[in-house]
Amino acid sequence: MSSTLRTSTLPLPLLRSGKVREVYAVGESQLLIVASDRVSAFDVVMAEAVPDKGRGLTQLSAFWFGMLGSVTPSHFLSANTGEIVRALPQLAGHRAQIAGRAMLVRRTEPVLFECVVRGYLAGSAWGEYRRSGTLAGEPLPAGLAESARLDPPIFSPATKAESGHDENVTYERMEAELGAPLAERLRSVSLALYETGRRYAAERGLIIADTKFEFGIGPDGQPMLIDEALTPDSSRFWPIDRYQPGRSQPSFDKQPLRDWLAAERSAGRWNGDAPPPPLPDAVVAETGARYREAFRLLVGTDLPEEA
Ligand SMILES: Nc1ncnc2c1ncn2[C@@H]1O[C@H](COP(=O)(O)OP(=O)(O)O)[C@@H](O)[C@H]1O
Ligand SMILES: [Mg+2]
């Protein structure tokens, strides 16, 4: 039986505890990233943990890093618990904390922009378009409906805020900070990754409406894909057979949680900041079910009990 984990505590140097993951140093050149079962929405971390979420994120990312390796190198080394314990024997007594949810990766210098690719008009992009007719500051054709398909997909970077809410920025801003060669490389790789992912997902009945990639600079000075890839935390997954522009779509991610929180907010019971309201059990369970279903649909098997 797997157990729910809100925060891991491993005998390795802890470098960072993010919204979802603990990041531990493994020597100079590697990291062990442990995806907890924490869930955040609107950039606020909930008090409850969602069963199977961390394992789902780690194993789905591992699956994608394998497939996307033909497009770009990534930080991925292993998400296999046995292999990780063999490489790090000091973790042998801590298997319950890492089983299925830990990933051994190459350590990089993260690029401080999130590389967002949008194939459909949703979320903050729909919000911007509705307000100003633009996306990432660039004008879009008039009259697009909510959830409309964007062809070709649009690269819309965001800053990686240390705390608080990420901010959508123009490509020019990213270019000014990173330099044109790196910015252009990250844009074209992100679009190519999205294209590969969306073609595969479409065969399995899912639309990847949008997604966020992160990159880091390796010891050779070259960018590689880091963090997680094409998971329900970093993407919007919509069932193709229920797609209908002109409204928001049902999705295999934390939508049940977002919907519940949004309702609490409009009822004046939550102001949008931490601490969030306590979640009903049904919202936690329904959110966990969406993560498991996303894994099953994309990978084609149930989430394994231990990887
Ligand atoms: N290979 C890597 N090298 C350096 N940093 C990484 C690597 N992979 C992921 N990270 C960083 O580890 C953190 C993962 O924790 P997470 O909970 O996702 O944080 P966040 O709250 O920033 O989303 C992120 O800050 C991410 O940029
Ligand atoms: Mg993250």
State pLDDT tens for residues 7-52.
999 999 999 999 999 999 999 999 999 999 999 998 899 999 999 9
Where b means 16+ CB within 10 Å and e means fewer, 86-106 reads eebeebeebeebbbbbbbbbb
Q: Which numeric CATH code is attached to 1-107? A: 3.30.200.20
Taking the centre of ligand 2 as the mean of its atom positions, its distance from the CA of residue 228, in whole angstroms, is 7
DSSP E strand boundaries for the chain: 14-17, 21-26, 30-35, 38-41, 44-49, 76-78, 102-106, 109-110, 113-120, 134-135, 138-139, 149-155, 158-159, 167-168, 206-217, 223-226, 235-239
Nearest-Å Rg of the Cα atoms of the chain is 19
Interatomic CA distance for residues 136 and 134, integer angstroms: 7
Ligand nearest to the CA of 23: 1
Going by pLDDT thresholds of 50, 70 and 90, the confidence category of residue 2 is low
Give the pLDDT confidence score for residue 306 in this predicted structure: 67
224 token code pair:
């590689």
The answer to whether 1-107 and 110-253 have equal CATH topology is: no
Helix (H) or strand (E) holding 256: helix 255-266
The pick from 16, 36, 109, 222 for probing ligand 1's pocket by mutation, whose C-beta has the most ligand atoms within 8 angstroms, reads 16
The pick from 19, 23, 167 for probing ligand 1's pocket by mutation, whose C-beta has the most ligand atoms within 8 angstroms, reads 23
Q: Rounded to the nearest 5 degrees, what angle is found at the Cα of 147, between the Cα atoms of 141 and 148?
A: 40
What is the mean predicted confidence (pLDDT) over 183-211?
98
Q: Where are the domains of the chain?
A: 1-107, 110-253
Taking the centre of ligand 2 as the mean of its atom positions, its distance from the CA of residue 211, in whole angstroms, is 12
**pLDDT tens-digit series, residues 106-134:** 999 999 999 999 999 998 899 999 999 99
Taking the centre of ligand 2 as the mean of its atom positions, its distance from the CA of residue 182, in whole angstroms, is 21
Q: Is the CB of 158 under 6 A from ligand 1?
A: no
Residue 124 three-state SS:
helix
Q: How is residue 92 annotated by DSSP?
A: G
Q: Is the CB of 216 under 6 A from ligand 1?
A: yes
Q: Which numeric CATH code is attached to 110-253? A: 3.30.470.20
What is the mean predicted confidence (pLDDT) over 256-261?
94
